[in-house]
Homo-oligomer: A and B are copies of this chain.
Amino acid sequence: MLAAVMTSAALTLPAQADALRDQAAEQFQVIPSMLPAVNNNPITKAKIDLGRALFFDPRLSASGVFSCNSCHNLATGGDDNLETSIGHGWQKGPRNSPTVLNSVLNQAQFWDGRAEDLKAQAKGPIQGSVEMANTPEKLLATLQSMPAYDDWFKLAFPGDAAPVTFDNFAKAIEAFEATLLTPAAPFDRWLEGDDNAMTEVQKTGLSLFMEKGCSSCHSGVNFGGHDYYPFGVVERPGSDILPENDKGRFAVTKTADDEYVFRAAPLRNVALTAPYFHSGKVWDLKQAVAVMGSAQLGDELTDDETTAIASFLTALTGELRPVEYPLLPAETATTPRPTAEVIAQ
């Protein structure tokens, strides 16, 4: 069986290597090394700096414990390495935290795509009762209580008479998050012509990834993140992996066809973002590949095949530019005080 897989490695002879690259280039794009343009939000240095401060500031949560970075930790692949996040009052969130890395390149945000972009996304967890449990009013009171934030908002939004708004808060976070690209993954370097950037097994995995049909959903610059599919196209996984009470995009569209429909997960840096699936129930990348094979493709992949595909997926780990940890302003007499209390909904 290993031999059967290894014959695919013949693809790396010059002509066939080019054929594999040509085929890949039709379905995938490299991560840009420049900031992409962001809809309705020109990205400036001042806005990025403000967004970085906000992203790391735990005082934006009701308890003072959680920042954006708590669940989208830039140290650990832009997520929190938990099945589902722990938030206000030690409550568990309903779905696995997706990585913030390269998320600006996704078509929409959240597992069900309910936010059209990162500025819409940023307004969600702040208010989520099991996440940061804050309100826009208290958030703005917090920001307005610290003169440095006032200065930073003025620099970031120079045209606004009163720039400390919930919309601008969200735009600043989007601006920072737009910088969180991870270019130069082995796959990208290979796609750009460096034959040695991926191993033979990884090239075999890429070939299988396209031939078996994974790339029907996981394609584009982010290897996913641009469209929605039922989890269990062919065979619905057990309720351990696909909990029955989470109907996915159905909650957004109220369309019966969208029951158990989720965004095809973007697979960039997937080797850093275990556990997998919206339920976060699978820790092993090979196992996740096998589950996808049976659930989505009706294909019981061999061990060699899952090994090669998982190996290829590790070639999607890119390089995050260094991020300087911010220094935040001190609270003042008018800063709302943190509360650990859980208010019943």
Q: Pick the contact of A337: B80, B283, B320 (CB < 8 A).
A: B283
Q: Is A274 an interface residue (CB 8 A)?
A: yes
Q: Please indicate the chain B residues that have their CB under 8 angstroms from the CB of A63 in the complex.
A: 86
Tell me the complex Cα distance, A340–B338, Å.
22
Using known A-B contacts A59-B81, A86-B340, A340-B92, determine if residue A74 contacts B325 with beta carbons closer than 8 Å.
Answer: yes
Q: Quick check: A328 and B90 within 8 Å, CB to CB?
A: no
Residue of B nearest to A88 (CB): B90
Q: A51-87, CB under 8 A of B: which get 1 and which 0?
A: 0000011110001110000100111110011100010
A-B contacts, 7 listed (Cβ < 8 Å): A64-B81, A75-B326, A81-B331, A82-B338, A90-B340, A92-B340, A283-B331
Supply 18 further A-B pairs (C-beta < 8 A) apart from A59-B76, A75-B326, A90-B90.
Answer: A58-B73, A58-B80, A59-B81, A63-B86, A74-B327, A75-B325, A75-B327, A76-B328, A77-B330, A81-B338, A89-B90, A271-B330, A272-B330, A274-B331, A283-B331, A284-B333, A322-B324, A325-B325
Q: Is A2 an interface residue (CB 8 A)?
A: no
This chain: copies in complex: 2
A residues apposed to B, CB below 8 Å: 56-59, 63-65, 70, 73-77, 80-82, 86, 89-90, 92, 271-272, 274, 283-284, 320, 322-328, 330-331, 333, 337-338, 340
Most B CB contacts (10 A, CB to CB) among A57, A75, A81 go to: A75
A129 to chain B, nearest CB (A): 14
Q: Quick check: B90 and A75 within 8 Å, CB to CB?
A: no
Residue of B nearest to A71 (CB): B65
Q: Please indicate the chain B residues that have their CB under 8 angstroms from the CB of A328 in the complex.
A: 75-76
A202 to chain B, nearest CB (A): 17
Q: Please indicate the chain B residues that have their CB under 8 angstroms from the CB of A82 in the complex.
A: 64-65, 338
Q: Quick check: A327 and B337 within 8 Å, CB to CB?
A: no
Tell me the complex Cα distance, A272–B337, Å.
15
Q: Please indicate the chain B residues that have their CB under 8 angstroms from the CB of A330 in the complex.
A: 76-77, 271-272, 274
Q: Please indicate the chain B residues that have their CB under 8 angstroms from the CB of A284 in the complex.
A: 333
Per CB-CB distance, the 5 closest pairs between chain A and chain B, nearest first, are: A90-B90, A75-B328, A323-B325, A272-B330, A325-B325
Q: Please indicate the chain B residues that have their CB under 8 angstroms from the CB of A331 in the complex.
A: 81, 274, 283
Tell me the complex Cα distance, A5–B222, Å.
65
Q: Pick the contact of A320: B56, B65, B81, B327 (CB < 8 A).
A: B327
Q: Please indicate the chain B residues that have their CB under 8 angstroms from the CB of A70 in the complex.
A: 65
Tell me the complex Cα distance, A274–B337, Å.
11
Residue of B nearest to A337 (CB): B283
